[in-house]
């Protein structure tokens, strides 16, 4: 599987009205590529929830992309109780739940996390790349 996981910071930077133009362009490029059969984009539900607090319309916008695009191009991924999630929480107790959900999603798909703060994932088992 090739693709990316978008964390809450990437969503906020790319979809909030006060984000930088560079972030909006790059996130748009990733989403358009996914819809055009490029690398898939996964959005952990807790990342979307955290970002939607900042801009509530974001959830509806992403839902339209999920429903309107090809199957599997853009996915909103749920959180389930697993041994891995419990282990991540134990290993990184100071990390917020949206970041933990992003790590869990990225490791399951063996894909990198796109974020505006790659340092957030320092010391974890995932690759984080800057939006």
pLDDT recorded at residue 82: 84
pLDDT recorded at residue 15: 85
Handedness of CA 11, 68, 2, 29 (dihedral sign): negative
In tens, the pLDDT along 68-90 reads 999 999 999 998 888 888 899 99
Task: Give the CATH number, domain containing residue 18.
Answer: 3.40.50.1010
Question: Is pLDDT above 80 for 45?
Answer: yes
List the domain range (segments joined by +) for residue 107: 3-130
Task: For residues 101-129, give the mean pLDDT.
Answer: 95
pLDDT recorded at residue 61: 87
Cα separation, 53 vs 73, whole angstroms: 24
Cα separation, 95 vs 98, whole angstroms: 8
Q: Provide the number of structural domains found in the chain.
A: 1
Mean model confidence pLDDT for the chain: 92
Assessment of whether the complete model's pTM goes beyond 0.85: yes
């Amino acid at each position: 599987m090739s693709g990316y996981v978008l964390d809450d910071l990437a969503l906020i930077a790319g979809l909030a009205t006060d984000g930088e133009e560079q972030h909006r362009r790059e996130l748009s490029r990733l989403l358009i590529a996914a819809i055009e059969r490029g690398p898939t984009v996964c959005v952990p539900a807790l990342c979307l929830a955290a970002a939607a607090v900042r801009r509530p319309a974001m959830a509806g916008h992403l839902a339209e992309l999920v429903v309107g695009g090809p199957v599997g191009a853009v996915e909103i991924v749920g959180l389930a109780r697993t041994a891995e999630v419990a282990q991540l929480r134990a290993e990184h107790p100071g990390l917020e739940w949206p970041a933990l959900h992003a790590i869990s999603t990225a490791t399951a798909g063996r894909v990198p996390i796109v974020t505006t703060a790659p340092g957030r994932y320092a010391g974890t088992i995932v690759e984080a790349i800057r939006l």
